[in-house]
Amino acid sequence: MPNYKIREVVSRQDLKQFIRFPDELYKNCRQYVPALHSQEEKNLTKAASLAYCSRKLWLVTDESGKVVGRICGMVNPRYNERYGKKRARFGWFDCIEDFEVAKLLIDTATAWAKEQGMTEIHGPLYYNTFGKQGMLVEGYENIPPFNCLYNYPYYNRFMEELGFEKECDWLQFKMVANHGVPDKARRVSKLVKERYNLHIGSLDELKKDKELVRKFFKVYNESFSETVLNFIPLTDEEIEEEAASVMPFINDKASCMLLDENNEIVAFGISFPTISPALQKAKGSLFPFGWFHLWRALHNFETTDLMVNGAAPEWQNKGVSAVYYEEMADKAIKIGNRWAISNPQIESNSAVNIWNSYEHEPFMRRRCYLKTI
């Protein structure tokens, strides 16, 4: 049996190896989408969530010193307080097809979690609900959106052999985007707009006002606070971080925002062109040509990623979704959008049924695993 060794990531060289390990592991996988190295470094060292989360990183090497696995162990006290749990989480989990490597990684993260007083561990997850999460269990033949994980099938076998059980599954679908919405949906949309005096706002204008951007993310917090499993509301610092990261990609061409008569945010539908193929060409770096691939991708709307749809709590169950789905469907036709990939949604959430109104097919299923420790 190989003589594997595990060590904590403590130096800048260690961190570089941690970030770049998947580049080697997935170099022959045409579906894998590499993250930008600079963004990964920021996520691991300067993320706003680290103001309240604790985390440790580890690498496993073989006898020659070659990296064969990595993992991040995390504790989010805001999550534990909100849900009355003592849970650690793991993420950035990758390894070669050797169960001993997976076991060494998980056992090390688990031992650390116990030292922190935790009684359970689940993952793969990010610090908060906004990051990449969920181990792929179906749809390996597809290229994921840039904000979703990809992994080899053997990862799931390792999880089961290590005693993990399914906590939840997220589903993603691929839809035909340029067929518009059914006549019934248009009638519902018209009635809802007239009944509540609603109108479409401009995200391009919203982006110019930092206070409105903060309000947008606060509505996001409120929209999902009670409806999304394991949801953790963003802090003010996380809102600032996500606004700087996400808002530049958002515009009125493929997204929409619904306002009431007082110009308060009622609901929103956010999508933008898929950048996964561009990230594959960039190979983890913006230079020398990565930025060009990304720039071209952001102007190609043939396939879009549906990032998030939601409504303020007081507007939920009032039919407002019909309004922004109609708006986004009409925009899809206008911009030449042929396909749309949905963001992961918990399978138990009735909202997944909305896609039955469109020509669609299963795209990916991803899983969060849970284990008592």
Task: List pLDDT tens digits, range 273-319.
Answer: 999 999 999 999 999 999 999 999 999 999 999 998 889 999 998 99
pLDDT in tens, 221-232: 998 887 788 899
pLDDT number for residue 296: 96
The domain spans of the chain are: 5-170, 178-337
- Asked if the model's pLDDT at residue 351 lies above 70, the reply is no
Amino acid 349: pLDDT:
74
Question: Which alpha helices (H) appear in 46-177, and where do they start and end?
Answer: 77-83, 99-115, 154-161
Quote the tokens at residue 122.
């689940």
Instruction: State how far the Cα of 148 lies from the Cα of 143, in Å rounded to an integer.
Output: 10
Per-residue pLDDT of 253-264, as tens digits, reads 999 999 999 999
Give 248's pLDDT tier (boundaries 50, 70, 90).
Answer: confident
User: Domain spanning 5-170: which CATH class is it, in words?
Assistant: alpha beta
Q: Quick one: pLDDT at residue 249?
A: 85
User: What percent of the chain has pLDDT above 70?
Assistant: 98
Nearest Cα to Cα of residue 139 among 340, 346, 363: 363
Predicted confidence at residue 26, as pLDDT, reads 98
Topology alike, domains 5-170 and 178-337: yes
The 10s digit of each residue's pLDDT in 172-200 is 999 999 988 888 889 999 999 999 999 99
Interval 332-354 mean pLDDT: 87
Closest CA to 369 of 149, 174, 173: 149
Task: Calculate mean pLDDT across residues 14-24.
Answer: 98
Residue 84: CB partners within 8 Å, gap ≥ 6? Answer: none
pTM of the model: 0.94
Element containing residue 42 per DSSP (H, E):
helix 37-45
Q: Report how far residue 120's alpha carbon sits from residue 129's, in angstroms, rounded to the nearest whole number.
A: 18
Phi, psi of 253 (to 5 degrees): -65, -40
Percentage of the chain exceeding pLDDT 90: 84
Q: Are 105 and 68 in contact (CB under 8 A)?
A: no
Per-residue model confidence (pLDDT) at position 72: 98
Least confident of 73-87, 238-252, 293-307: 238-252
Q: What is the mean pLDDT of residues 341-366?
A: 84
Position 66 pLDDT exceeds 70: yes
For position 355, what pLDDT does the model report? Answer: 74
pLDDT for 323 equals 93
90 contact partners, CB below 8 Å, separation of at least 6: 71, 72, 73, 74, 106, 109, 121, 122, 123, 124, 125
Class for domain 178-337, per CATH? Answer: alpha beta
Least confident of 5-9, 122-126, 159-163, 206-210: 206-210
Q: Is 117 exposed, middle or buried (CB count within 10 Å of its CB: 0-12, 13-18, 19+)?
A: exposed
Q: What is the mean pLDDT of residues 48-69?
A: 98
